[in-house]
Amino acid sequence: MRAATPDDGSQPVPAGRPSAEPVRAATPDDGSQPVPAGRPSAEPVRAATPDERTQSIPAGRVLAAGLLGLVLAALLNADALLRDARAKELGSAGRTVSVALWTPLQAVSEALRLDEPREWADEALGRDLGETEFELPPVTVVSRRGPSGELAEPDGPVWRTPTTEEPLRLWVGGDSMSQVLGESITRLAGAFEVVDTSQDSRVSTGLTRPDYFDWPAHLAEVLESDPDVLVVMFGANDAQGLEAEDGVHGFGEPGWVPEYRRRVAGTMDLLTADPDRLVVWVGQPSARDAELGDHMRRLNEIFATEAEGRPNLVYIDTWTMFNDAQGGYTDVLPNAGGDLIDMRQGDGFHFTVPGGDRLAVAALREVTSRFDLTTGRSGGGATSG
Q: Does residue 360 contact residue 179 with C-beta atoms inside 8 Å? A: no
DSSP string, 288-336: SSHHHHHHHHHHHHHHHHHHTT-TTEEEE-HHHHHB-TTS-B-SEEE-T
Q: What is the rounded distance in angstroms from the CA atom of residue 125 to the CA atom of residue 121?
A: 6
Mean pLDDT of 310-332: 94
Q: How confident is the model at residue 28 (pLDDT cuts 50, 70, 90)?
A: very low
pLDDT at 288 over 70: yes
Q: Tell me the average pLDDT across 86-115.
A: 67
Four-way CATH pick for 135-384: 3.40.1360.10, 3.30.1380.10, 3.40.50.1110, 3.40.50.10540? 3.40.50.1110
Closest CA relative to residue 298, chosen from 349, 253, 268 = 253
Highest mean pLDDT among 10-19, 153-162, 278-287, 335-344: 278-287
Judged by DSSP in three states, 73 sits in helix
pLDDT band at 86 (very low <50, low <70, confident <90, very high): low
End-to-end CA distance of the chain: 97
Distance (Å, whole) CA 66 – CA 120: 25
CA–centroid distance for 317 within its chain: 22
In sequence order, which residues have a C-beta less than 8 Å from that of residue 32 and are 6 or more positions away?
Answer: 26, 44, 45, 46, 47
As a whole number of angstroms, the distance between CA 106 and CA 298 comes to 33
What is the arithmetic mean of pLDDT over 374-378?
Answer: 61
- C-alpha to C-alpha distances, 34 to 11, 38, 97, 376, nearest whole angstrom: 9, 12, 57, 81
Rounded distance between C-alpha atoms, residue 157 and residue 275, angstroms? 6
Confirm if 11 and 3 have CB atoms less than 8 A apart.
Answer: no
pLDDT over threshold 60, residue 144: no
Angle between helices 93-111 and 78-86 (to 10 degrees): 150
Q: What is the dihedral of CA 75, 239, 267, 214, to 10 degrees?
A: -30
Domain layout of the chain by residue ranges: 60-121, 135-384
| CA-closest candidate to residue 173, choices 191, 160, 186 | 186
Q: Does pLDDT of 30 surpass 90?
A: no
Q: What is the pLDDT of residue 15?
A: 45
Which is nearest to 194 in space by CA: 229, 221, 220, 219? 229
Sign, CA torsion 351/354/358/363: positive
**Band of the pLDDT at 100, cuts 50, 70, 90?**
confident
How far apart, in whole angstroms, are the C-alpha atoms of residue 213 and residue 216?
Answer: 9
If one compares 365 and 136, the residue with the highest pLDDT of the two is 365
Identity at 51, one-letter amino acid code:
D
At position 210, the amino acid (one-letter code) is P
Query: What is the C-alpha to C-alpha distance for residues 372 and 141, in angstroms, rounded to an integer?
Result: 8
Max mean pLDDT among 133-147, 226-240, 327-341 falls in: 226-240
Residue type, 165: E
Spatial distance between the Cα atoms of 276 and 229, rounded to a whole number of angstroms: 9
Identify which has the larger pLDDT, 238 or 78.
238
* Residues paired with residue 230 on neighbouring β-strands, in sequence order: 171, 279
Mean pLDDT of 258-267: 98
Confidence at residue 69, expressed as pLDDT on a 0 to 100 scale: 80
Quote the CA–CA distance of 318 and 320 in Å, as a whole number: 6
Q: What are phi and psi of 363, to 5 degrees?
A: -70, -45
Question: Who contacts 374 (Cβ-Cβ below 8 Å, separation ≥6)?
Answer: 141, 143, 145, 384
Confidence tier at 56 by pLDDT (50, 70, 90): low
